[in-house]
Structure 1
Amino acid sequence: MTQLLLPDAGGALSPYVLEGSPWSTTPPVAPFNRVVFSATHVVADPFSAADPASGGAIDWDATLAYRRYLADLGLGIAEAMDTAQRGMGLSWADSLTLIRRTKEALEGTKVPIFNGCGTDHLNPSDVRSLDDVVDAYLEQVEAIQGAGSRLILMASRALARVARTPEDYLAVYRRVLARADQPVVLHWLGDMFDPELKGYWGVHDLTAARDIALQVIAENPSKVDGIKISLLDKEREIDMRRRLPAAVKMYTGDDFNYPELIAGDAQGYSHALLGIFDAIAPAASHALGALAQGDTARFMEILAPTVPLSRRIFGAPTRFYKTGVVFLAYLNGHQPHMVMLAGHQAMRPLPYFIDIFKLADAAGLLRDPDLAAARMKRFLGAYGVEG
């Protein structure tokens, strides 16, 4: 029996006994019947002298090892996305290196790998025209496709800044998609994930925004594999899913309601492109295996305890969810520290980490309880908690 002392809101310590039964990390025995991507975090190099204000440096060995771990569990990789701190510490130059190295590291695996393509090498305040946005997108399109890799067309802060009408969005996406060698995944990221994307698609009404995104797809049917929406609103996702052309996939990005969206209903289901799968990979793999065998009840049963954990990790301010994802990787021994690019390990309060520890235990996501407890004690010591 593993236990430790945890503080309450007032700092008083009380015993906590770990009770979870850790999920095994055995590879799936059969292919999943959903296309599944885990958006994946990067591991920072704590010994680098690089200024955190400029992002910092990456521990490439640990970063790539984590991708191999996810691939062994059958999860595809959504590389260089917001989970990897894209736009919040991860530069475009490091993103491209990451894309290339991940492709090389996972050569020979059967998991799909798609890669974030955006305009983040631009300072939005320096952008003057839609041409600037298109040129920036195409620079990344050509670099990623030149590496032999597939695209996730990420939402652009620069476009959100200079576009004035929905037609501006349509014109930009039309020009960029024309240069895609293979069908891409579009990414509609809500402003809870990135406040600079408020009013994306040129309107503030989400129903009108849905219609613009659908028009982009309708105008470019051969260029779109699917669309990921991250609005944390299951009804909007279901509504849009039912309006998509039959050949276009819906990838859920709803880290609050993913089990029922992936399970689907009589009219269809969502595939997955989720940051939370980085943190709950073993449970996700087991659940998806059950779903592929036709056991939807078991799929829902496995994922049910992960939902409170995910809702806490992605709670407001949602854009700092990466801190919780990295914390779980630290507790589980995938990296020896909690240092993040741009110092983001400091972007959540202590009660957040305590809740994640408890919720991960309840979901069977602390793979070595003794190690997790020892690391939690060490972590608490940095806050002056001794016990």
Structure 2
Amino acid sequence: MTVRLPSPDGTTRAYTPRTEPLALTATGPLTSRTVFSAAHVVADPYADTTPDSPAAVDWDATLAFRRHLWSHGLGVAEAMDTAQRGMGLDWAGAAELIRRSSAEAKAVGGRIACGVGTDQLTGPATPAEIRAAYEEQLTVVEESGAQAVLMASRALAAAAHGPEDYLDLYGHLLRQAGEPVILHWLGPMFDPALDGYWGSSDLDAATETFLDLIAAHPDKVDGIKVSLLDARREVELRRRLPEGVRCYTGDDFHYPELIAGDEQGFSHALLGIFDPLGPLAAEAVRTLDTGDADGFRKTLDPTVALSRHLFQPPTRFYKTGVVFLAWLAGHQDHFAMVGGLQSARSLPHLARAYELADGLGLFPDPARAESRMRSLLTVYGVPQ
């Protein structure tokens, strides 16, 4: 039986869904790469909220999804942009998420790293206020027992006058950190307010500042997460890191080649696309663990079309597609998002996401995914 899917030109096309999911049999930990999935949050669909009110989170479903990721050997990158930090989830909600997820990680033996930012600041801030905001969040993460990810700050981007302001603030935070942290460089395609981060819109100049910071504190930097969607730049940066400092790719366009690596090294991973791809990504890395790089690429390369679709401009709205696929896959009972962000992508965009994900065999129950897709199409008035 076919499904009529809408196309961007206003027509519909027939699509025949697959009847069986992809068979995934490998189990056990991942050994050759450290892999984090940046995980989404599940909204409470019954909460009487508005886009401007604090997020209402379905904690049971949110934590269940994290257990799903841990069960496949993936780490969870918590309270980062995939969890809608600054796009529906405020600091109070993020702090609760960090505490709950960290406790769950301890209970099941899962690896977790949590985002540290300054999103409790709602307007222009002084350097002292930005430092205090970072310190508050770093304390919450470290007290929860999780690894810290120092995220880029909109407030710092707005207040900094040059590279020295970044070096001063980040140097202070690294000296304070109890354990090595992950530094996160998030490009403006993910958040336009971060343009010019590290003191310059010239990426070559910004890279030098970033490397200067790491070179001054190599014992306090576990690794860097690079989200610039520029594979060449990531490889060049990776090759210049001090010994022992890892590169976690955040490139949702080129992740197979960056994780596979070359004769001079490879990237680990901290990726939003590994939210919907979790089990398949884990399967691919286990293949790489055996030394079979070709098999790894054969498994993961076909997923890039879906990732590029979900992360197409405006890239920051990729979360909508991620949550949509979680609903189709049965990880939650509804397609609602904090901040009402389920409306951020068009029906043709979602239809193509369904088609690509189904073609990859990502849905554990293809019939359920088809039924849910049909229900959405009916709401939109698409004849079947």
Contact 1:183 1:225 in 2 (8 A): yes
Mapping of residues 227-306 of structure 1, within 5 Å:
227-306=224-303
Mapping of residues 171-190 of structure 1, within 5 Å:
171-190=168-187
- Paired position in structure 2 for 1:88: 87
Contact 1:165 1:203 in 2 (8 A): yes
Give the C-alpha shift of residue 222 in structure 1.
1.2
Give the C-alpha shift of residue 26 in structure 1.
5.1
- Paired position in structure 1 for 2:376: 379
Give the C-alpha shift of residue 246 in structure 1.
1.3
Q: Secondary structure at the match of 1:316?
A: coil
- Paired position in structure 1 for 2:106: 107
State the alpha-carbon separation in 2 of the partners of residues 39 and 271 from structure 1.
13
Q: What TM-score, normalized by structure 1, do the two folds share? A: 0.96
State the alpha-carbon separation in 2 of the partners of residues 26 and 54 from structure 1.
43
- Paired position in structure 2 for 1:163: 160
Give the C-alpha shift of residue 69 in structure 1.
0.3
- Paired position in structure 1 for 2:200: 203
Q: Which amino acid in the other structure matches residue 173 of structure 2? A: V
User: How big is each residue's C-alpha offset from its partner over 1:225-262, in whole Å with a ceiling of 9 and x where there is no partner?
Assistant: 00001000000000000000111000000000000000
Give the C-alpha shift of residue 99 in structure 1.
1.0
Deviates more, 1:362-371 or 1:351-360: 362-371
In structure 2, do the counterparts of structure 1 residues 48 and 108 end up closer, same or farther at CA, with 3 Å as the change threshold? closer
Deviates more, 1:20-29 or 1:93-102: 20-29
Give the C-alpha shift of residue 48 in structure 1.
0.4
> Which residue of 322, 326, 331 corresponds with 2:319?
322
User: How big is each residue's C-alpha offset from its partner over 1:242-284, in whole Å with a ceiling of 9 and x where there is no partner?
Assistant: 0001110000000000000000000000000000000111210
The gaps in structure 2 that reach 5 residues or longer are none
Give the C-alpha shift of residue 149 in structure 1.
2.0
Contact 1:20 1:362 in 2 (8 A): no
Q: Which amino acid in the other structure matches residue 284 of structure 1? A: A
In structure 2, do the counterparts of structure 1 residues 55 and 310 end up closer, same or farther at CA, with 3 Å as the change threshold? farther
- State, as a whole percentage, how many aligned pairs show the same letter: 52
In structure 2, do the counterparts of structure 1 residues 169 and 33 end up closer, same or farther at CA, with 3 Å as the change threshold? same
In structure 2, do the counterparts of structure 1 residues 154 and 20 end up closer, same or farther at CA, with 3 Å as the change threshold? farther
- Paired position in structure 2 for 1:29: 28
Contact 1:229 1:254 in 2 (8 A): yes
> Which residue of 360, 367, 371 corresponds with 1:363?
360
- Paired position in structure 2 for 1:312: 309
State the alpha-carbon separation in 1 of the partners of residues 19 and 164 from structure 2.
52
> Which residue of 172, 189, 193 corresponds with 2:190?
193
User: How big is each residue's C-alpha offset from its partner over 1:94-145, in whole Å with a ceiling of 9 and x where there is no partner?
Assistant: 111111111222224443210000000001x331x21111111001111221
Deviates more, 1:112-121 or 1:143-152: 143-152
The gaps in structure 1 that reach 5 residues or longer are none
- Paired position in structure 2 for 1:126: 124
Contact 1:20 1:363 in 2 (8 A): no
State the alpha-carbon separation in 2 of the partners of residues 263 and 20 from structure 1.
31
State the alpha-carbon separation in 1 of the partners of residues 109 and 236 from structure 2.
32
1:64 partnered with 2:57: no
1:152 partnered with 2:149: yes
Q: Secondary structure at the match of 1:304?
A: helix
Contact 1:27 1:74 in 2 (8 A): no
Give the C-alpha shift of residue 3 in structure 1.
3.1
State the alpha-carbon separation in 1 of the partners of residues 198 and 13 from structure 2.
50
Contact 2:116 2:149 in 1 (8 A): yes
- Paired position in structure 2 for 1:221: 218
State the alpha-carbon separation in 2 of the partners of residues 9 and 170 from structure 1.
46
Deviates more, 1:151-160 or 1:216-225: 216-225
Give the C-alpha shift of residue 43 in structure 1.
0.3
Q: Which amino acid in the other structure matches residue 264 of structure 1? A: G
State the alpha-carbon separation in 1 of the partners of residues 39 and 283 from structure 2.
19
Give the C-alpha shift of residue 8 in structure 1.
3.0
Q: Secondary structure at the match of 1:176?
A: helix
In structure 2, do the counterparts of structure 1 residues 248 and 347 end up closer, same or farther at CA, with 3 Å as the change threshold? same
State the alpha-carbon separation in 1 of the partners of residues 372 and 173 from structure 2.
46
Q: Which amino acid in the other structure matches residue 194 of structure 1? A: D
Give the C-alpha shift of residue 12 in structure 1.
3.8
Q: Which amino acid in the other structure matches residue 232 of structure 1? A: L
State the alpha-carbon separation in 1 of the partners of residues 364 and 46 from structure 2.
27
Give the C-alpha shift of residue 27 in structure 1.
6.0
> Which residue of 317, 342, 346 corresponds with 1:345?
342
User: How big is each residue's C-alpha offset from its partner over 1:288-321, in whole Å with a ceiling of 9 and x where there is no partner?
Assistant: 1100011111110111111000000000000000
Q: What TM-score, normalized by structure 2, do the two folds share? A: 0.97
Q: Secondary structure at the match of 1:15?
A: strand
Give the C-alpha shift of residue 20 in structure 1.
7.3
State the alpha-carbon separation in 1 of the partners of residues 233 and 217 from structure 2.
22
User: How big is each residue's C-alpha offset from its partner over 1:21-76, in whole Å with a ceiling of 9 and x where there is no partner?
Assistant: 52346562343310000000000001001223224300000000000000001110
State the alpha-carbon separation in 2 of the partners of residues 167 and 8 from structure 1.
49
State the alpha-carbon separation in 2 of the partners of residues 76 and 176 from structure 1.
24
In structure 2, do the counterparts of structure 1 residues 279 and 74 end up closer, same or farther at CA, with 3 Å as the change threshold? same
Contact 2:33 2:269 in 1 (8 A): yes
How many residue pairs get matched?
A: 384
State the alpha-carbon separation in 2 of the partners of residues 345 and 304 from structure 1.
28
- Paired position in structure 2 for 1:54: 53
Contact 1:314 1:320 in 2 (8 A): yes
Give the C-alpha shift of residue 11 in structure 1.
4.2
